[in-house]
């Protein structure tokens, strides 16, 4: 496995319930100069990604701004709104924003303005994930027949 050092964490731009995140970081791989990398991570294990030199990252940013209209940058958002929630509510909001790969601010902004907010993981996939997670947790207490029944239920859900 290649030797690397994360020089600077720039942003987590997405994530899944299983802990896999999509991140933008400045990473130094072995003897190579640090570069901007966009890649998936699971803990400290990196999957394949793309590296960008500073000029390439700037060009990518310009392309994205041109494609999305550009005028909606953070610089144009000058007012803050404080919202009081319980710790449990905040965790649920953060979790829901994460499913949509949005920051909490952007998630609340879109909901408040009546815009569509769509989860990047489909409800069916998440149900299957929850069932697998529950099966893993219960596995030692279950008999073989019940384990087989639950596995068949999950297989049916996937069809």
Phi, psi of 21 (to 5 degrees): -120, 155
Instruction: State the helix-helix crossing angle for 87-99 and 104-112, rounded to 10 degrees.
Output: 90
Task: Provide the token pair at 67.
Answer: 């494609």
Among 140, 101, 42, 138, smallest CA distance to 154 is for: 138
Q: What is the number of domains present in the chain?
A: 3
Walking along the chain (159 residues) 10 residues at a time, the average pLDDT comes out as 81 84 88 88 83 84 68 68 93 88 88 84 77 87 88 83
74 within domain boundaries: no
47 within domain boundaries: yes
At residue 65's C-alpha, the angle toward residues 52 and 63, to 5°, is 45
pLDDT at 111: 92
State which residues form the domain around 127: 123-158
Same domain, 53 and 90: no
117 within domain boundaries: no
């Amino acid at each position: 496995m290649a030797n690397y050092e994360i020089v600077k964490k720039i942003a987590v731009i997405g994530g899944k319930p299983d802990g896999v995140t999509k991140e933008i970081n400045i990473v130094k791989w072995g003897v190579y100069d640090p570069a901007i990398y966009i890649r998936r991570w699971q803990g400290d294990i990196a999957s394949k990604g793309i590296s960008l030199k500073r000029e390439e990252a700037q060009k990518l940013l310009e392309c994205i701004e041109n494609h999305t209209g550009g005028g909606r940058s953070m610089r144009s958002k000058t007012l803050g709104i404080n919202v009081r929630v319980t710790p449990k509510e905040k965790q649920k909001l953060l979790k829901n924003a994460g499913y949509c790969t949005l920051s909490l601010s952007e998630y609340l902004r879109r909901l408040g303005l009546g815009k569509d907010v769509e989860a990047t993981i489909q409800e069916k996939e998440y149900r299957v994930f929850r069932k697998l997670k529950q099966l893993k947790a219960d596995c030692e207490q279950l008999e073989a027949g019940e384990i087989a029944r639950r596995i068949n239920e999950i297989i049916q859900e996937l069809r």
